């Protein structure tokens, strides 16, 4: 349940999306069709549920909340988009750092997220989206941290499949 009062399923349903939750494991060598994801989005969500469950055991929410006061202030994402439009008169660009996608596979073998992000910023991107999903997009939180540590100044968007409020603190 999110702070808005709506569940993940309510939000998805309002957009015409129906994601089944992972069924309990069948104690058989043969998985029934009902226990297999129907599409890539469902497979991603089911995988993310398992990932988050494991991460929550390693880093409980109370522990993560202790780091909030030490976190640097957020950069003004919307302000950067507005400033870009004011400066150029053109729609602002949000560039994306992505190594792979489920539909196309690896997009770039010589993937250097810092080099790519710096090139996007130099090219006029107002903000940069960084894919962090490891299994399906070959991204990582380390890429996001490396880009920020390398001195990229524009706001960064952590592009992730958020299925649990715990992930916001992670």
Beta bridge partner(s), residue 131: 159
Residues of the chain with pLDDT > 90, as a percent, come to 71
Given a cut of 80, whether residue 125 has pLDDT beyond it is yes
Higher pLDDT, 119 or 74: 119
Q: What is the pTM of this model?
A: 0.79
CB neighbour list of residue 115: distance below 8 Å, 6 or more residues apart = none
Please provide the average confidence, as pLDDT, over all residues in the chain.
89
* Domains of the chain from N-terminus onward: 8-65 (no CATH), 74-169 (3.20.20.70)
Number of H helices, E strands in the chain: 8, 5
pLDDT for res 11: 72
As a whole number, mean pLDDT of residues 24-41 equals 66
Comparison of pLDDT for 38 and 16, the residue scoring more: 38
Measured distance CA(12)–CA(31) in Å, rounded: 26
- pLDDT above 80 for 165: yes
pLDDT for the residue 33: 66
pLDDT at 72 over 80: yes
Q: What is the pLDDT of residue 29?
A: 41
132: nearest Cα among 167, 165, 88: 167
């Amino acid at each position: 349940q999110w702070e808005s009062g709506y569940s993940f399923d309510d939000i998805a349903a309002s957009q015409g999306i129906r994601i089944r939750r992972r069924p309990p494991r069948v104690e058989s060598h043969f998985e029934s069709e009902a226990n297999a994801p129907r599409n890539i989005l469902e497979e991603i969500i089911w995988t993310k549920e398992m990932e988050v469950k494991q991460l929550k055991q390693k880093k409980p929410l109370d522990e993560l909340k202790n780091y909030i006061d030490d976190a640097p202030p957020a950069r003004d994402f919307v302000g950067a988009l507005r400033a870009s439009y004011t400066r150029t008169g053109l729609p602002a660009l949000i560039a994306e750092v992505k190594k792979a996608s489920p539909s196309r596979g690896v997009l770039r073998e010589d993937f250097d997220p810092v080099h790519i992000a710096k090139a996007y910023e130099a090219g006029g991107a107002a903000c940069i989206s960084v894919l962090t999903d490891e299994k399906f997009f070959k991204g990582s939180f380390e890429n996001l941290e490396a880009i920020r540590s390398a001195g990229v100044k524009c706001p960064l968007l952590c592009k992730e499949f958020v299925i649990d409020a715990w992930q916001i603190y992670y």
